[in-house]
Amino acid sequence: MTPASVHNRIRAVLFDLDGTLIDTEDQYTAIWGKIGKKYHPEMPDFAHRIKGMTLQRILDAYFPDEETRKVVVPELYEHEGQMDFTFYPGALAFISDLRRCGVKCAVVTSSNRKKMETLRRQIADFDALFDAVLTAEDFKASKPDPDCFLTAAAKLSCSKAECVVFEDAPNGLEAGRRSGMFTVGVQTTLTKEQITPLCDYVLQSYEGFTLAELERITDKSPESYGKK
């Protein structure tokens, strides 16, 4: 796949949430691994397989039985209510740099509004950090469909060439690239070898990362993508 390119000035950055901005993936892997082991023992990679999907899509695909859903959903919500929502090192500084330079920032997450209410109880000023926060209820289709990122770009009045996507999971990375936007793979849940073929550039850490560096990256020749 040919890397996407940013032809105009970067006007918006679209962030996935879990595993991209917030360090929660191990916590989700634990609960979904437990659920998968109980209901889908034939899928040892269940927790990895569903990363980036909306809860509704997970239920439709893997838990069609209503009685099973009545057990799985409350178990998930109980787990989320006890989770720790912590930004990855350097993420807040990067967002501040973007906003200071006039770049719009949006969260584009497969999480639903109920989960986001839990997060906001821990991070009271969460919404003030972003120009928009889009959840599962705002999209027509779940990742890896690109609708979520295209919807976010439209909400921010930006073209896809003016947007950059930050993602960590295969479903989200595929959605970013299918949207036609330059897609940065944040190396939090996958190894560099795993993530490099899935994105246009691999970011190992937000620490010290700035808009100026992002602009330099998006101007690189195709041969240089993913080398950091």
Whether residue 53 contacts residue 143, with contact meaning beta carbons closer than 8 Å, is answered with yes
H-state helical runs in 82-161? 91-100, 113-122, 147-155
CATH class of the domain comprising 12-23+87-224: alpha beta
SS3 category, 87: strand
SS3 category, 52: coil
Whether residue 15 contacts residue 166, with contact meaning beta carbons closer than 8 Å, is answered with yes
Residue pLDDT tens, the chain, 228 long: 444 544 458 999 999 999 999 998 788 788 888 888 888 999 998 988 888 788 888 898 999 999 999 988 888 888 787 788 999 999 999 999 999 999 999 999 988 898 899 999 999 999 999 999 999 999 889 899 999 999 999 999 999 999 999 999 999 999 999 999 999 999 998 899 999 999 999 999 999 999 999 999 998 544 444 434
* Domain edges within the chain: 12-23+87-224, 25-81
| Torsions phi, psi for 12 (to 5 deg) | -150, 145
Write down the number of H helices and E strands in the chain. Answer: 10, 6
The two tokens of residue 83 are 């989770």
In angstroms, rounded to a whole number, what is the distance separating the alpha carbons of residues 203 and 110?
A: 21
